[in-house]
Homo-oligomer: A and B are copies of this chain.
Amino acid sequence: MTTPTQHRLCMIPGPVEFDADVLSAMATPATSHVDPLFIEKFGSAIELLRKVFFAPTGQPFVVAGSGTLTWDATAANLIENGDNVLVINTGIFGDWFAECIGVYGGVVDAVRAPFGSRPSLAQIEAALTSKHYKLVTVTHVDTSSGVLNNIEDICALVKRVSPNTLIALDGVCSVGAEVIKQEEWGIDVVMTGSQKALGVPPGLAVMVVSKRALEVALNRKSPPTTYFASFKKWLPIMQKYEARQASYFATPPVQLILALQVSLEQLVAAQGSLEHRFAQHRVASAKVKDTLESWGLKIVPVNRACAANTLTAVYYPAGVAPAEFLGKVGSRGVVLAGGLHPEHATKYFRIGHMNVSVVNDSLVKHLDTTLNAIKAALQECGHKI
Chain A residues with CB under 8 Å of chain B are: 3-4, 7-8, 10, 12, 14-18, 23-24, 26-27, 29-35, 64-69, 71-72, 75, 99-100, 103-104, 193, 195, 201-205, 223-230, 248-256, 335, 337, 340
Contacts and interface: CB of A to CB of B under 8 A. Distances in A.
A228 B72 contact: yes
A308 to B, nearest CB: 17
B69 A250 contact: yes
Nearest to A357: B30
Given A64-B65, A68-B249, A104-B225, 14 more contacts: A10-B31, A15-B32, A15-B254, A18-B30, A26-B255, A64-B64, A64-B202, A64-B203, A64-B204, A71-B227, A71-B228, A72-B227, A99-B227, A202-B252
A256 B203 contact: yes
Identify the interface centre among A30, A34, A204, A228: most chain B CB within 10 Å of its CB.
A30
A117 to B, nearest CB: 24
A254 B29 contact: no
Contact of A32 (B67, B205, B335): B335
A29 B12 contact: no
B253 A35 contact: no
A274 to B, nearest CB: 22
A14 B251 CA distance: 9
24 contacts: A4-B29, A14-B251, A15-B30, A26-B26, A32-B335, A64-B66, A64-B203, A65-B65, A66-B251, A68-B249, A68-B250, A72-B227, A72-B228, A72-B229, A75-B227, A103-B224, A201-B254, A201-B255, A202-B252, A202-B254, A202-B255, A203-B253, A228-B229, A248-B340
A35 B252 contact: no
Copies, count: 2
Contacts of A68: 227-228, 249-251
Contact of A29 (B3, B72, B202, B248): B3
A176 to B, nearest CB: 15
A124 to B, nearest CB: 25
A227 to B, nearest CB: 4
A285 to B, nearest CB: 19
Contact of A100 (B24, B99, B227, B253): B227
A251 B27 contact: no
Contacts of A66: 64, 228, 250-253
A3 B3 CA distance: 26
A18 to B, nearest CB: 5
